[in-house]
């Protein structure tokens, strides 16, 4: 029932990652946006902030709940999707087109899952 | 083990997202989502399964005297066919629960209590009823559907003759027939919107849901879950047991003095409330000034001094604002005061504003 694009990598904390040249683009998965429900607030770092593997770099809030965003990589934020700050519901509309941050100078990455493994992981979460 | 309401299978068919709540498995939302469900109730109408609520009947010659002794409100001059909100206090003046009382005869009252408190309420009532009162927990026999929103009256008028539709706030008719199903209907709810709550035997629940769903179609009725129920009541600034009140908080502190009749001869908790005197804390509204969303149980500061905590909070869909209710030191509760709320480690500015946040009569 959820969409798991093949061209992306995923984490067990439900972020997706796409590598373009040396830049890592990070977003949240379809499973994550559905579990959160209507998203009403996104808190993101600023350009030049450092992020660290498996550490929180911001949060997403729905009407129901708050969820931390965990960084799949260690590096420096080089771009932030400002559109989300004004219109967080974009994450519900299309969580793959609407990335959160782009990270450069990446020195460490998490263990990524491919689309099939991530799908299995989500299905095992019930 | 979690219980299921008689509508559990219907919620699955409606693709509701099921969560455990107060011992029951209930839909937190349907595929439409909390925001659309919330807006449907403000603008058109929505349908809720609230069958998890507890129902306890009071019968007998001394039923009225028992209620007046156990509950904080005064039921002496209540008319048959009316409904009244009340609190039930412990000896220390703390809230055991809040509930509504229906009067169907001088010797027959029908109480609707919070699902999570049902058993402790019954126990407390049983220990304190006067001779000549019998009480019964009939929760499992009855299903309750809440039809809420400005178009509720249009839906109901397709199903009932005018003389069987209660009018005015907090009124009830004990016996009406919707598609041949015996129902009790009242102008009550927990959304701040006009609407009805309809009670029927559990075996009728599925059919009643279907009838209301079908009839409501032309009025844009959609099913609504617990998520919208909570955001709607918060927007209307209605207290929720376990949040704005509990056994340590008195109804006066929670701002429920309208339901506490101190002039009444005696009731459980009266002595403690008198001894405590004027409450030192107050329930207030908070409006977020910075970017962020307040949630429950976050500390509230004024000039770095802790003055209280939030009891409920989220982003409210109709008002489109991050708002919260809080219990704070009364001395610092003046409207327009700017306080700081500890939102997960960040101290964000919020302003004290008037309650209710939303009122349909405004």
Does residue A2 form part of some domain? Answer: no
What does the pLDDT look like over A86-100, one tens digit per residue? 999 999 999 999 999
Give the Cα-Cα-Cα angle B45, B23, B55 (nearest 5 degrees).
65
Percent above pLDDT 70 for chain A = 99
Strand blocks (E) in chain B = 3-4, 17-21, 24-29, 46-49, 54-59, 83-89, 95-105, 108-113, 134-137, 142-148, 172-178, 181-186, 195-201, 222-223, 281-288, 299-302, 305-316, 321-329, 338-343, 346-353
Q: Out of B227, B291, B344, name the one closest to residue A63 (CB).
A: B227
Interface size A-B, in CB pairs within 8 Å, comes to 41
CATH topology of domain B3-48+141-235: Gyrase A; domain 2 (3.30.1360)
A64 pLDDT band (50/70/90 cuts)?
Answer: confident
> Residue A126's pLDDT is what?
64
List, by residue range, all CATH 3.30.1360.120 domains of chain B: 3-48+141-235
Coil vs helix vs strand at B199: strand
Residue of chain A whose Cα is closest to the Cα of B346: A43
What does the pLDDT look like over B285-299, one tens digit per residue? 999 999 999 999 999
Q: Which helix (H) or strand (E) holds A73?
A: strand A73-80
**Chain B residues with CB inside 8 Å of A43's CB?**
291-292
Indicate yes or no: CB of A41 within 8 angstroms of CB of B322.
yes
Interfacial residues of A (vs B; Cβ cutoff 8 Å):
37-38, 40-41, 43, 59, 61-64, 66, 85, 92
Residue of chain A whose Cα is closest to the Cα of B37: A38
Q: Out of A37, A85, A92, name the one closest to residue B29 (CB).
A: A37
CA separation for the pair A101, A91 (Å, rounded): 13
Residue B361 neighbours by CB under 8 Å, 6+ apart: none
Q: Out of A43, A59, A63, name the one closest to residue B35 (CB).
A: A63
CA distance A14 to chain B (A): 19
Q: Out of A38, A41, A43, name the one closest to residue B34 (CB).
A: A38
Torsion on CA atoms B257, B262, B268, B271, rounded to nearest 10: 110
Report the number of distinct structural domains present in chain A: 1
Residue of chain A whose Cα is closest to the Cα of B318: A63
Q: How would you write the pLDDT of chain B (362 residues) with one tens digit per residue?
A: 789 999 999 999 999 999 999 999 999 999 999 999 999 999 999 999 999 999 999 999 999 999 999 999 999 999 999 999 999 999 999 999 999 999 999 999 999 999 999 999 999 999 999 999 999 999 999 999 999 999 999 999 999 999 999 999 999 999 999 999 999 999 999 999 999 999 999 999 999 999 999 999 999 999 999 999 999 999 999 999 999 999 999 999 999 999 999 999 999 999 999 999 999 999 999 999 999 999 999 999 999 999 999 999 999 999 999 999 999 999 999 999 999 999 999 999 999 999 999 999 76
pTM: 0.93
CA separation for the pair A32, B268 (Å, rounded): 48
CA separation for the pair B229, B29 (Å, rounded): 10
- CB distance B198 to B183 below 8 Å: yes
What does the pLDDT look like over B56-93, one tens digit per residue? 999 999 999 999 999 999 999 999 999 999 999 999 99
- Number of alpha carbons in the 13 Å side-chain half-sphere of residue A1: 9
Does residue A4 form part of some domain? Answer: no
Q: Give the residue numbers spanning the domain of A112.
A: 9-124
Indicate yes or no: CB of A43 within 8 angstroms of CB of B315.
no
Does residue A1 form part of some domain? Answer: no
Looking at domain B280-353, its CATH class is: mainly beta
Q: Which two structure tokens, joined as six digits, stand for B32?
A: 């439409």
> Residue B362's pLDDT is what?
60
List, by residue range, all CATH 2.40.30.110 domains of chain B: 280-353
Residue B362 neighbours by CB under 8 Å, 6+ apart: none
Instruction: Give the domain CATH number at A36.
Output: 2.40.50.100
**Helix pair B34-43, B226-235: axis angle to 10 deg:** 50
Does residue A90 form part of some domain? Answer: yes
- Tell me the H-state helices in chain B: 8-13, 34-43, 63-70, 118-128, 152-156, 205-216, 226-235, 270-276
């Amino acid at each position: 029932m959820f969409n798991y694009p093949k061209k992306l990598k995923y984490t067990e904390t439900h972020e997706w990652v796409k590598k373009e040249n040396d830049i890592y683009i990070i977003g949240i998965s379809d499973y994550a946006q559905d579990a959160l429900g209507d998203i009403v607030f996104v808190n993101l770092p600023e350009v030049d902030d450092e992020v660290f593997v498996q550490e929180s770099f911001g949060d997403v809030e729905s009407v129901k709940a708050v969820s931390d965003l965990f960084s799949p990589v260690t590096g420096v934020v080089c771009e932030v999707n400002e559109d989300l700050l004004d219109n967080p519901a974009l994450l519900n509309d299309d969580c793959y087109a609407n990335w959160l941050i782009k990270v450069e100078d990446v020195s460490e990455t998490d263990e990524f899952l491919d689309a099939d493994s991530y799908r299995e992981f989500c299905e095992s979460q019930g | 083990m979690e219980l299921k309401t008689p509508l559990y299978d219907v919620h699955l068919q409606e693709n509701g997202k099921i969560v455990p709540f107060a011992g029951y498995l209930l839909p937190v939302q349907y595929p439409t989502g909390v925001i659309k469900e919330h807006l449907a109730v403000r603008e058109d109408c929505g349908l809720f399964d609230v069958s998890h609520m507890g129902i306890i009947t009071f019968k007998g010659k001394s039923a009225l005297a028992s209620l007046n002794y156990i509950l904080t409100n005064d039921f002496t001059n209540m008319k048959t066919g009316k409904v009244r909100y009340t609190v039930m206090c412990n000896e220390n003046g703390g809230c055991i629960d809040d509930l509504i009382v229906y009067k169907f005869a001088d010797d027959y009252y029908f109480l609707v209590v919070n699902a999570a408190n049902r058993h402790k309420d019954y126990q407390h009532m049983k220990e304190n009823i006067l001779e000549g009162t019998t009480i019964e927990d009939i929760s499992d026999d009855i299903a309750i559907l809440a039809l809420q929103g400005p178009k509720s009256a249009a839906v109901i008028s397709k199903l009932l003759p005018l003389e069987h539709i209660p009018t005015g706030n907090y009124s009830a008719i004990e016996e009406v027939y919707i598609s041949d199903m015996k129902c009790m209907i009242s102008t009550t709810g927990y959304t701040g919107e006009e609407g009805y709550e309809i009670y029927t035997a559990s075996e009728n629940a599925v059919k009643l849901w279907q009838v209301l769903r079908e009839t409501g179609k032309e009025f844009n009725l959609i099913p609504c879950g617990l998520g919208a129920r909570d955001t709607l009541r918060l927007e209307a600034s209605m207290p929720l047991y376990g949040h704005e009140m509990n056994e340590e908080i008195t109804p006066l502190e929670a701002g429920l003095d309208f339901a506490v009749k101190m002039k009444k001869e005696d009731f459980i908790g009266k002595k403690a409330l008198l001894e405590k005197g004027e409450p030192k804390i107050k329930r207030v509204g908070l409006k977020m000034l910075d970017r962020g969303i307040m949630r429950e149980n976050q500390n509230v500061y004024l000039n770095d001094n802790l003055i209280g905590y939030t009891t409920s909070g989220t982003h409210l869909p109709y008002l489109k604002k991050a708002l919260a209710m809080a219990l704070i030191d009364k001395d610092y509760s003046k409207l327009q005061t700017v306080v700081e709320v500890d939102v997960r480690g960040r101290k964000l500015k919020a302003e004290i504003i008037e309650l209710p946040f939303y009122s349909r009569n405004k």
